[in-house]
Amino acid sequence: MSQHPLPNDLHLATLAVRLAADRSQYGENSEALYLTSGYVQPSAEASARRFAGEEEGYTYGRSGNPTVSSFEMRLAALEGSEACLATSSGMSAVMLMLFSLLKAGDHVVYSQSMFGSTLKLIGSEFARFGVESTVVPQTDVAAWKAAIRPNTKILFAETPTNPLTEVCDIAALADMAHNAGALLAVDNCFATPVLQRPMAMGADIVMHSGTKYLDGQGRVMAGALCASEKLIKEKCLPVMKNSGMVLSPFNAWVVLKGLETLDIRMRAQSERAHALALWLEQHPAVSRVYYPGLTSHPQHALSMKQMSNMGGAVLSFDVKAADPQTGRTRAFHVLDSLRTLSLCTNLGDTKTLLTHPASTSHGKLSEDQRQAAGIGQGLIRVAVGLEHLDDMKADLLRGLETL
Ligand SMILES: *Cc1c(COP(=O)(O)O)cnc(C)c1O
């Protein structure tokens, strides 16, 4: 039991390290990790009340766990949402949202620049069950509006996007969704609540891959949905209990501890990313840098307004090349010349991770589709970590200076 409940006017920075389920009778200072799949019931009557939903209390691991609850409480506070439900991965959070809110004949509008698995889950898997969908260009507000139909239930946006860091106007999309009687869901993976709080801009649901910045150190898979108490309790929780996309207590504990340093990590990594983007933009072997913090970014003003004047920790750049084949060869050379930074498909780590989108995340697209999406063969994505800026530059120079 928590002998001293927290005051109710604490700042987010304080909640990020303090908010959690009650302490046990041992008074542990660091939140306990409850590795248990079942819970001993105080009495048969109490058990019956818990199963009937008339009394609070844990019953079985698929329905809840105190360590998982701590993570949910803390993330909800940071996102400014009433409630949160943790899931086993970011994609299971998307799955839970769609499964909880849609039925055959419903329609979803979403951006063509979304995370690859999100595109496939909606456009292919849910289509098999009669869910209709329309993909629209990320930044074209008129196209979002034109795509809305009478049966549209969800507008789903991700901002900034991977890997080109395109930004969409959350407040405008929220208005549009509400005028159509639909909900706006935002994948807040890249910005995190440190930079951007979609609920405050009108979003109804915030989705997270906890695998990324929330953990922050590349250790575990995790995900979460933040929304109103009503939406979580009435729509998502029943599906969760019956489908079992639960976050494991161990992973919840890791991500819970990750949230304690989220604020300082995001600020430090954004600062490094900004400096690296400015430097890359000046390099003669680089033709273009994509980063919301640069004044050359097409939505720089919107980004700064929406993302607390920070650009985030992910940037991409094109190596200069006359044709796609040369671009690929040059990008591979830069990646194969790395000795400190990692060639690794993930992001949100304290270690800087680089990828070649055209042959990995966007590898299954045809060359024409890739061109349309702006993912060239010379494109390299950098998810900036916490190494010293000079060492990052030196590692990139190894390849850039020997093209
Ligand atoms: C990684 C990622 C996801 C999926 O999360 P997983 O934890 O890998 O399932 C969804 N959206 C974005 C923007 C991501 O980067």
Q: Does the beta carbon of 91 lie inside 6 Å of ligand 1?
A: yes
Domain ranges of the chain: 12-259, 263-400
Q: Does the beta carbon of 312 lie inside 6 Å of ligand 1?
A: no
- Which neighbouring-strand residues pair with 373? none
**φ, ψ dihedrals at 383, nearest 5°:** -95, 100
Whether this model's pTM surpasses 0.95: yes
Cα(115) to centroid of ligand 1, in Å? Answer: 7
- Which neighbouring-strand residues pair with 354? 343, 382
What distance in Å separates the CA atoms of residue 100 and residue 236, rounded to the nearest whole number?
A: 5
Chain centre distance of CA 151: 27
pLDDT in tens, 110-138: 999 999 999 999 999 999 999 999 999 99
Would you state the pLDDT for residue 373?
Answer: 81
pLDDT in tens, 128-184: 999 999 999 999 999 999 999 999 999 999 999 999 999 999 999 999 999 999 999
Cα(153) to centroid of ligand 1, in Å? Answer: 22
Give, in words, the CATH class of 12-259.
alpha beta
- Which neighbouring-strand residues pair with 317? 289, 380
Q: Given pLDDT bands bounded at 50, 70 and 90, which one contains residue 1? A: very low
Segment 261-286 mean pLDDT: 98
Residues 6 or more apart in contact with residue 158 via CB below 8 angstroms: 111, 113, 114, 115, 118, 186, 187, 189, 190
The percent of the chain in helix, strand and coil, each rounded to the nearest 5, is 40, 15, 45
Strands (E), 218-278: 223-227
Give per-residue burial for 17-55: e unless 16+ CB within 10 Å, then b: eebbbeeeeeeeeebbbbeeeebebeeeeebeebeeeee
Assigned fold of 263-400 = Aspartate Aminotransferase, domain 1 (3.90.1150)
Q: What is the largest CA-CA distance in the chain?
A: 75
Cα(317) to centroid of ligand 1, in Å? Answer: 21
